[in-house]
A and B are shown apart, each in its own frame.
Chain A
Amino acid sequence: MTRTGTRLIAATALTLALGGFAIAAQHETAESDCPEDMNTSEGCQLDGAEESERQPVPGAATAPVPEGVGDDGTTTMDMPAADPEADAAGDGGTADSTDATNGTDATDSTDAQESERQPVPGAATAPVPEGTGDQGTTTMEAPAADPESEPDAAGATGGGASDAGASQDGSDTGMSQDSSDAAPQVQPDDPNIAVAYEEGGRYWTADDVPTFNVAADGTVDWLTFSGYRRYNSECIVCHGPDGEGSTYAPAIKNSAVQMGYYDFVGVVVNGRKNGNSVMPQFGDNLNVMCYLDDIYVYLKARGVDAIPRGRPGSKEAKSDMIQEEENVCMG
């Protein structure tokens, strides 16, 4: 079979190989990432909790919840029932495990905080590093910080991300509390993007990673178009239209550029958790797995703004090879 066949097999193997690990990791995540003594999982990150108090609230809020309250599944009467672990806790241990689980995001804590800033249409093209490396972006007329928490949840928001690429649609979500990676500043000749060769209607980089192809007249390759359709069926309910993110999931179009193909596949196959941000595992979902390259190249094209928002206009025909592979995969 073709390269793709090999890849699918590889993906399956990855599922099997990582399955056990993923489960273990999830347990770890659940416990350390989100200490059960925290009041809500949103508040799992202390930073976030503090942030959210900055809301301009008319009038004073009522009695704050006693700290340490609410062991899960329990009722707390209004008495100081402090769970000793509640306050001090978790923190130390949390940090480590958070890092561990976030590893692929390349999100360090600084990034996380900075990227809470919401990008705003208009601020587009010019990311202004505010001493935070390339993740910081200017937010015009944006209300202060997004009272977010999720650590990796940062740049997500279409964070600087869409700014770098998006520009012309000028509508970044900026609302997600989850995040992935921030604004890709990528040139068309980037080795992760540039087409090195074509085979049966599929396009590849020099490193044999799937990529998109947009002709001079805007015609997209079949996979990019197919990826648009599959994305809108399987992913949109969390990640929003055109990969722009939603109020609770990151602008995945940026993740597709930043993460690299194999990490991207790994997360889709195995899922990932961060507090109350949960990416499910799609490893046994044919509607996703048989079109994983399609979705990947579509999102990558969106992430570097090679195609605008919305449905791609004209497309290449579906090749016999692609059709054959689809039939085999879908069974």
Chain B
Amino acid sequence: MTGVPLCGPLQPIAHLVARHRQAFGAQIRLAIQEGVASGPLREYLTRLVEHGMIRDVETLGVGWLPILACEACGTDGSRTLPIAAAWQLIRLAVKLLDDVEDGAQGALAALSTTINAAAALYSVAHVTLDTARRTGLKSSQIRRIADLFHHALLAAAAGQHLDLEARVTAGVLSPDEWLAIAAAKSGALLRWAVVAGTLAAGARRGVIAALGEFGLCLGILLQLADDFTDCWRSGAEGDLAAGHLTLPVCYAFWVAADDEAARLERLLQARRQGASSAAGELEQMLIDMGAQAYLLTVALAQRAQALAALDRATSELGENVQLLLKPLIDCVFPAFRGLGV
């Protein structure tokens, strides 16, 4: 995930990022050092982490969710450093598996290496969670956070399974089915990242539930942004080219008349087979059918739900919640800035 420069509305949290940045990066390196025996695997994972995750913590993004959620609850975010490190490691693992599933890894040897690295990162993330006692968390807190971690990962795997099954059977998902998959694949993980931060801060149940809902909406927004980019960003070779079912395509099939559905299917088929001439026609057809408008409307609805959840937490915790967590909405879905919302 690319972050954003700490300017404009993000400026007030610049000091927080600056305060934790170094320790955050160090904690991720420590997780690899302590979790993996010296040797080629450790070296490989270190390279992955240095190129991806360490650079990622230099800027604000969803990688900061546990720390920001903890700070929003009025507790020093350094308590969550092992949790935040586990969160970064699992994001990297999920990204690696996504690349494999999307066929971006090329040769079999590279594919096998990637799967093995992802499996190792899953384990390192779990081991790292256990070290949270060093930052003052009680065993009961760690157990609860770890338990929720397992459930979030299982939910994400279940969502990914549904997505992959739809690819295999070439079935068409309804928008509701797309939402259920997005909520499981991405929403459950981001919800955990926020909830883990609130649990580390010892927040009350109502706050945990409200901020958890915020995380869920943020995860769905991430999937919406991903689908938007894949469909319409110039030069993108993403899910649309691979023939995967993005929300714009699900929407289009849902609202299409028979003749439109047939034309859509022909264009998708051509796109899957590498016909670049079909790309522009397909993108325009989706726009003409209202897929951009629909996707933005869904995104606005998720944003409104996320803001309502933040408001509920704000009534108990104060404005800090808005200050620290609201900017993440625009980080995840930058087009909101252009809508003037």
A and B: real partners? no
